[in-house]
Amino acid sequence: MKQTIGLLLLSLAPALGQSLPEILDGLVKAELGSLEALYKHLHANPELSHHEQATAARIASELRAAGYAVTTGIGGYGVVAVMKNGPGPTVLMRTDLDALPVTEKTGAPYASKVRAKDDAGNEVGVMHACAHDMHMTSFVGAARLLAKLKDRWSGTLLMIGQPAEERGTGALDMMNDGLFTRFPRPDYCLALHVDAALEAGRIGYREGYAMANVDSVDVTIRGVGGHGAYPHTTRDPIVLAAQVILALQTVVSREVRPTEAAVITVGSIHAGNKHNIIADQAELQLTVRSYTDETRKILLDGIERVTLGIARAAGVPNDREPVVRIRRNEYTPATYNDPELVKRIVPVWQQVLGGNNVVLREPEMGGEDFSQFGRQEPRIPIFLFRLGTVGPRKAAPLPGLHSPEYLPAIHPTIETGAKATAAAVLELLKK
């Protein structure tokens, strides 16, 4: 009975003269115990990319319970929930579902103890080390709030759970499975991502480029192997690899405009298996980061040209020239936050959360495949914002995203994520 009366009073809040921040605060408090339990469940039961079956089922169940029409199995384990509420725009809000192959070391009572086989057949620990569990919890909280505030908005709301964000493929998988044709095409797309350097209770934002193009490149440098005592009879691929690694940095420093951001990192090098044997090839794995399409092309073209040029200069036979393979299916485009959309939403957050809790953030060189939603023609304005997760600061440095020791502060992170998401949608769908 008390709960029924409470919900009735909340529904009458506008008539009682409550402000939007007061309304959202009241609704979030009513959901907080349930949301904390959901977060701990998701944290303790993570699933790897392309294997999010139970996670997707739980999110689908939560959205159905909130009154949404739910479809599952979109682009793998993707979830699409629709709530139509009269005429108006369509807003898409995305959460990601997957976890990482990381063995948790937080020591939390709800820590993940899950172990699973990865796609290569290796047994790995599994953890929400990028806090997609917090994304999902904030997302469900916002979905509940918006369902209870239908008198304050008009239009169509798409709440989607996306698989395989960590692999950079889930967004395209969902679109290729008809996300924008089988369901209402959005006029705006929103998503949040945790920030391991921002205090809990705060939201971060950035206009324009917020995250980078991400390319993975495999380089095979082929030489002529032989005895380590007779290098003159060989073409040493390890020496060539060393020259290539250094020369690639000149692509960044001497070919890219100094005001443009660019990164070429060689993350892996493998060659040889014995002290006195010169190998016949070396394998490099590169990650390449940029913002603009023009800079991306300079970097990728430069990698091929430099690698081939060094091999030829060293006299490597034509039939042993290096192979540069760009993993096109793993490409993640840069996230470009629509400036007008950002300008529209930030003042609402300042009202709901307080001006000091809405913080301008620097662009990053990490990647996010949410960017794909803004690359389809005609272009849709998108906005990826940051959710602070840092609790009271300690003397030791705090672990970052993808660390086995990264653990978001539960409160007020959940409350802030749910309120910020709901407030943004209410602004875009306001009557």
User: What single DSSP character describes residue 358?
Assistant: E
CATH of domain 20-211+334-428: 3.40.630.10
Q: What is the pLDDT of residues 53-92, one digit of tens each?
A: 999 999 999 999 999 999 999 999 999 999 999 999 999 9
397 confidence band (pLDDT: 50, 70, 90): low
pLDDT of residue 11: 47
Catalytic residue among 62, 98, 133, 173: 98
Burial group, residue 119, by CB count within 10 angstroms (0-12, 13-18, 19+): exposed
pLDDT of residue 21: 95
H/E stretch holding 82? strand 78-85
Mean pLDDT across 323-334: 94
Are residues 193 and 240 in contact, defined by beta-carbon separation less than 8 angstroms? no
Q: What is the pLDDT of residues 92-140, one digit of tens each?
A: 999 999 999 999 999 999 999 999 999 999 999 999 999 999 999 999 9
Res. 200: pLDDT tops 70: yes
**What is the rounded CA–CA span in Å between residue 339 and residue 336?**
9
Burial group, residue 284, by CB count within 10 angstroms (0-12, 13-18, 19+): buried
Contacts of 242 (CB under 8 A, 6+ apart): none
Q: What is the pLDDT of residues 49-59, one digit of tens each?
A: 999 999 999 99
Q: What is the pLDDT of residues 25-55, one digit of tens each?
A: 999 999 999 999 999 999 999 999 999 999 9
16 confidence band (pLDDT: 50, 70, 90): low
- In the chain, the percentage of residues whose pLDDT exceeds 70 is 95
Task: Compute the radius of gyration of the chain from its Cα atoms.
Answer: 25
Query: What is the average pLDDT score of the chain?
Result: 94
User: What single DSSP character describes residue 395?
Assistant: S
Residue 335 β-bridge partners: 211
Res. 5: pLDDT tops 60: no
393 confidence band (pLDDT: 50, 70, 90): low
Of residues 269 and 3, the one with the higher pLDDT is 269
394 confidence band (pLDDT: 50, 70, 90): low
- Which amino acid type is present at position 289? R
338 is catalytic: no
Res. 383: pLDDT tops 50: yes
Res. 10: pLDDT tops 80: no
pLDDT of residue 329: 86
Domain 214-330: which topology?
Alpha-Beta Plaits (3.30.70)
pLDDT of residue 124: 97
165 is catalytic: yes
pLDDT of residue 17: 74
pLDDT of residue 49: 97
Mean pLDDT across 129-155: 98
3-17, 158-172, 329-343, range with the lowest pLDDT:
3-17
Return phi, psi of residue 378, to 5°: -65, 145
Are residues 209 and 334 in contact, defined by beta-carbon separation less than 8 angstroms? yes
**What is the rounded CA–CA span in Å between residue 380 and residue 191?**
13
Q: Where are the domains of the chain?
A: 20-211+334-428, 214-330
Strand pairing category for 208-211 and 335-337: antiparallel
Return phi, psi of residue 298, to 5°: -60, -45
Catalytic residue among 165, 199, 364, 369: 165
pLDDT of residue 330: 86
pLDDT of residue 8: 47
pLDDT of residue 13: 45
**Would you give the end-to-end CA distance of the chain in angstroms?**
32
Q: What is the pLDDT of residues 214-263, one digit of tens each?
A: 999 999 999 999 999 999 999 999 999 999 999 999 999 999 999 999 99
